Every structure is written in structure tokens, then in C-alpha cells.
Structure 1
Amino acid sequence: MNLNKIKSMLSKSAKILGDVNAAKNDTLGKRIARRSAGKATNKLLRSLFKSRENILRLSPKKLYLN
């Protein structure tokens, strides 16, 4: 077993344990809402950074953004 598989198994089990803990504390709705908000934010930020990389690659004047 390599390190990536161990890491993914641990993170999946942590996610499941967090869901179980939220269900016990009656905060499962909040957990689901926060997780979906985090995924949406991640998707937005990822698209912003990808578009910035494309601008840098396609620029004829070798524009560097800091």
C-alpha cells in the first residue's frame, strides 16, 4: 500500500466520523451546508487561478502578474 492510498483512506474515514459526530449532535444540516459552500468556493477559486495561468501562458508580451 502506498502513502497516497493510506492518506485517502484516512481522510475518508475522518469525513465519515465527522458525519456521525454531527448526526449525534443534531448539526448534520450545518455540516452539509458548510461542506457544499466549501466545495463551491474551491471551484470558484480554482477557475480564477486557472484563468490567470492561461492569461500568463497566452500573453504575447510575457506579462507577469504579481
Structure 2
Amino acid sequence: MSINKTRGWLYFIAKIIGDINAVNKGTVGKRIARRAAGKATGKALGKFFK
């Protein structure tokens, strides 16, 4: 297993743990909004710097 695959799995597990934590805290809406905003920003910057 390469280091990139290991890192990918670690990020995936961290995302799941963050989702569980948000459910426990009751802040799922904020997490979804922030994830969507980050994804939109990343796409916009990707097109801008292309």
C-alpha cells in the first residue's frame, strides 16, 4: 500500500469521525454548509488559476 493510499484512507476516516462528532453536537447543518462552501470555493479557484 502506497503512502498516498494510506493518506487517503486517513482523510476518509477523519471525515467520518467529523460527521459522527457533528451529529453528536447537533451541528450537522453547519458542517454540510461549510463543506459545500469549501467545495464551491475550490472549484472556483481551480477555474480561476487554470
Q: TM-score range by the shorter chain?
A: over 0.9
Which structure is higher in RCO with an 8 Å CA cutoff and minimum separation 6? 2
Q: 1:27, CA displacement in angstroms?
A: 0.1
Long gaps (5+) in structure 2? none
In the alignment, structure 1 residue 43 sits paired with structure 2 residue 38: no
Total equivalences in the alignment: 50
- Cα displacement (A) at 1:14: 0.1
Corresponding residue of 1:25: 25
Q: Alignment identity in percent?
A: 56
- Higher helix fraction (1 or 2): 2
Shift of residue 42, structure 1, vs aligned partner: 0.4
Runs of 4+ in 1 over 4 A off after TM superposition: none
Superposition CA RMSD, Å: 0.3
Post-superposition Cα deviations, 1:28-52, rounded to whole Å, max 9, x if no partner, equal: 01000000000000000000000xx
